[in-house]
Amino acid sequence: MFNTAPVTAGTDQPVAVLTQLQHKDLTMFLVAIKTFANKVPLAKIFIINDGSLTAADQALLRSHLPIADIHDRTQFSAAGCPSGGCWERLLAIADFVKDYFVIQLDSDTLTLTDMPEVNECIATNTGFVIGTWDNQEIESMTVSSERVQKNNAPTMDSHVQMLAESRFINLDDCENLRYVRGCAGFSGFPKASFDKQFIVDFSQKIEKEIGAKWHQWGSEQVMSNVVVANLDKSIVLPHPKYTDCGKMKTPGTCFVHFIGECRFKTSRYADLAKNAIQALLG
């Protein structure tokens, strides 16, 4: 990986990747961003330092990613929103989306082949999110909330995502909103498509429903899904062409999110990453 070419600007269009990064994921992020940028031309990369990146880390990132700006996560906060748990990442997106089509890209992802759907979304200023099941669509928030209540009957001890989704139905404007059970690890936010106030307002409403639970890990993903679902134009990327590691189907899968521990349980991630690196080396 360290012998591959740096990521330079591949377009004059305002297209950016944003990620929140920690020290232990630095090498993995270089694999993620270099394989991605090989298929999707970028103008800018925003790296949100979670506080653990060393001076040497930042120097290495700048040498491999000369189009990257590195920001401290403490620069991004908002009264009425939780802190930590990647909330600063989403609030950073809300800032940079004023000027860029911003793509949130986790370090535990790998781009395998061409991604025409993503490039088309960029060309048409359309939002996107990686989905969870085949033929998934963005749907009414009311429908989504009622399904969660019926299938799971979440309680205050449930995961924050399940609980929040079940309480959407109690929000005054639920019938006018949409939702998608996607993954914040790979989502696209078109230029000038939303502002921070939408996040603050919704966050305050759902916190009134579930209290301090909203400050637990996982709430940022719920909020990211709400944002994507309520853009003027947005889609769920076709599944399993874009998928997590448990549902990938090669050769059809072009993008994989190696969530949780799956990249360590088998050699699949390592093998695919080695092949991708060899392709970058030519």
Tens digits of residue pLDDT in 192-237: 999 999 999 999 999 999 999 999 999 999 999 999 999 999 999 9
Tens digits of residue pLDDT in 194-205: 999 999 999 999
pTM above 0.85, yes or no: yes
Residue 13 gets which letter from DSSP?
S
Q: Which ranges of the chain does DSSP label H, i.e. alpha helix?
A: 26-37, 55-64, 87-96, 116-123, 141-152, 160-167, 196-210, 219-229, 262-265, 268-281
Tens digits of residue pLDDT in 61-110: 999 999 999 999 999 999 999 999 999 999 999 999 999 999 999 999 99
CA distance 235 to 131: 9
Secondary structure of the chain: what % helix, strand, coil (to 5)? 45, 20, 40
What's the whole-number average pLDDT of the chain? 96
Domain boundaries 15-135+181-281, corresponding CATH code:
3.90.550.10
The token duo for 56 is 């040497």
Q: Is 171 within 8 Å of 210 (Cβ atoms)?
A: no
Pick the closest to residue 255 from 40, 102, 100 (CA basis): 40
CA distance 36 to 255: 9
The token duo for 10 is 């591949």
- pLDDT tops 90 at residue 264: no
Q: What angle do CA 147, 253, 182 make, to 5 degrees?
A: 25
Q: What's residue 205's pLDDT?
A: 97
pLDDT band for 11, please (50, 70, 90 cuts): very high
